[in-house]
Amino acid sequence: MQNFLFDFDGTLINSAPGLMQSVIDVAAKNKLPYKTEDEIMPHLGLAEFHVFRDLYGVAAEEEAEISEQMSLRYAELADQLQRPFAGIPDWLQMLKDDGATLIVCSVRQPQNSAPLLERMGLLSYFDDVWGNDEGSGRNTKAKVIEYELNKAKMDPLQTVMVGDKDFDCIAAKANGLFMLGCSYGYGSPQELFDYKSDLIISNVTQGQQATRILRRM
């Protein structure tokens, strides 16, 4: 396998504390109903407006404004409340040294992902950053991958999706990719199994071992 697409939230970055606090703060600012952290947690890792649409029932005409508020608040909190998962730099360096192509593939917009990656010292490991583009209709990870694979003329059979949630699995399978499920993130092992991950890892060390083998396939 040559190409490795890494999800952002819950795979590269432990962004749960920053995302959680951002949702709580924006909900309070907009006088939305109170939700517990347990209620919010399953929705973390989704595009910002989906959190508020699915969890709080925010109307379509309010999504853009709420999404912008969420992005701004998260940017304010990001430096103090989020970090890469332990071992991520070593994992990326191992793949880079072995000649793999590394891509960030997220439902975040690239202009939001790239500065965060740079501040955490991870951006230089990646060959490109893919993400959501609402204006063009690429508003799901499956659509983002389909578009970018075609644009880059990248072979799906040589491409691995590394992610932690059901929608990573759905996107991988829709595009014929190998799915490496990361249960150390926000998705449970059962969720990753149910959505047909090809392989499930429980920590970054296992990820290094798995991708070392996948590089030889």
Residues 133-181: tens digit of each pLDDT:
867 778 899 999 999 999 999 999 999 999 999 999 999 999 999 999 9
Distance CA 88, CA 83 (A): 10
Residue 125 has pLDDT above 60, yes or no: yes
Distance CA 105, CA 137 (A): 16
pLDDT band, very low/low/confident/very high, at 48 (cuts 50, 70, 90): low
119 contacts 79 by C-beta, under 8 angstroms: yes
Q: Where are the domains of the chain?
A: 3-14+83-214, 16-81
**Which has the minimum average pLDDT: 30-44, 156-170, 178-192, 201-215?**
30-44
Q: 16-81 belongs to which CATH class? A: mainly alpha
Distance CA 165, CA 28 (A): 27
CA torsion sign for 147, 153, 158, 163 is: negative
Q: Which residues of 186-195 are buried (b: 16+ CB within 10 A; e: fewer)?
A: bbbeebbeeb
Instruction: Give Cα separations from 128 to 75, 105, 108, 111 (angstroms).
Output: 21, 9, 14, 12
Cβ–Cβ contacts within 10 Å for residue 13, how many? 25
How many Å from the N-terminal Cα to the C-terminal Cα in the chain? Answer: 6
pLDDT band, very low/low/confident/very high, at 47 (cuts 50, 70, 90): low
For domain 3-14+83-214, the question of CATH label 3.40.50.1000 is answered with: yes
Evaluate whether 3-14+83-214 and 16-81 have a shared fold: no
81 contacts 21 by C-beta, under 8 angstroms: yes
- Supply the mean pLDDT for the chain: 91
Q: What percent of the chain has pLDDT over 90?
A: 67
